[in-house]
Amino acid sequence: MSALAWLVSLLTVHTAVNAQLLRRPSGGALPVRTSVLLPVRDEAARLEPCLRALLQQPGVELLVLDDGSTDGTAELVRSLGVEPLEGAPLPHGWLGKPHACQQLADAADPASEVLVFVDADVVLAPDAIARTVATLLEHDLDLVSPYPRQEAPGATRLVQPLLQWSWLTFLPLRLAERSGRPSLSAANGQLLAVRRSTYDRAGGHAAVRDQVVEDVALLKAIKAVHGRGGVVDGTHLATTRMYDDLGQLVAGYDKSLHTVPLGVSAALVTLYVLPWFGRSRSARIACAAGVLGRVIAARRTGGRSVDSLTHPVGVLALALLHVHSKAARTRVWKGRSV
């Protein structure tokens, strides 16, 4: 338990250091020609705020691709003054989102130097695209992924804040940004900007055509051609609500966790749940350090500090979701098997 206390404390110090090093987006006007690319599939219930925000972004080309929606998504897009591209049938060996993103990239203005991919559950600030692209160029990076502030209602609030906490705690941000090591990769496809030239050199989304977690896989492909990038602060650029309820949360994590080794969850439970069953001073230190790390992450990324008190419960819930994902015989997302 003493060793656990030391390790959790060191990880919390690392969280604090990363919170200071996390890049804040630059300001100013859009510096280069940019295409904003929005793939949509059955998003009629939540697309309108996203699209209205994108229409407020000055100086960009906006392309929307409807990937076989059956809920009136295409009609909603048209009602807001945008003619969506019609997605092609899904080829063998491709997953839906990489295929949609690749079609959008192929259709983008050839003069665009930067491609910005956005998900339909994201609502951007009016200057979000300009600041994202300025950050990409100012720091001479090939890909940046501003991490949006996560809105997590109900039971989803146990798990969703762990996303920002995880990379702030375990990933050395500045080293990862410059390193070519695939293991030092974190990205979020909800808002992701990439230099067009590097994207094409890496093979675009065709290089990650069968990857469920295509955003991280794309960064790895960028690194494979000596590109650089990673996550930056998107707290004041964008908000997102990935899941509305527990059922959506389970379905989403079934999709994304099944390729992750169970040892990752076992390690998290050992570090952040096991000490709560101890009675020693070391156990109390480990518990306090774990909660403090969550507080630091929440304050830096726009989360609720009070939710940090549920940290061990959230880690345990994540582990159970991980086991459920591994046990699932079929995984379906947006009506397609993944």
Beta bridge partners of residue 333, listed in sequence order: 336
Three-state SS at 101: helix
CB 148, CB 122: distance < 8 Å: yes
Q: How far is CA 46 from the centre of its chain?
A: 18
Sketch out the chain's domains with CATH numbers.
Answer: 2-20+246-327 (no CATH), 24-138+181-227 (3.90.550.10)
pLDDT tens, N- to C-terminus, the chain (338 residues): 899 999 999 999 999 999 999 999 988 888 899 999 999 999 999 999 999 999 999 999 999 999 999 999 999 999 999 999 999 999 999 999 999 999 999 999 999 999 999 999 999 999 999 999 999 999 999 999 999 999 988 889 999 999 999 999 999 999 999 999 999 999 999 999 999 999 999 999 999 999 999 999 999 999 999 999 999 999 999 999 988 888 989 988 988 898 899 999 999 999 999 999 999 999 999 999 999 999 999 999 999 999 999 999 999 999 999 999 998 766 666 666 66
Three-state SS at 288: helix
pLDDT (0 to 100) of residue 90: 94
Roughly what angle, to the nearest 10 degrees, separates helices 311-327 and 262-272? Answer: 160
Can you give the pTM of this predicted structure? 0.92
Residues 6+ apart with CB under 8 A from 207: 217, 218, 221
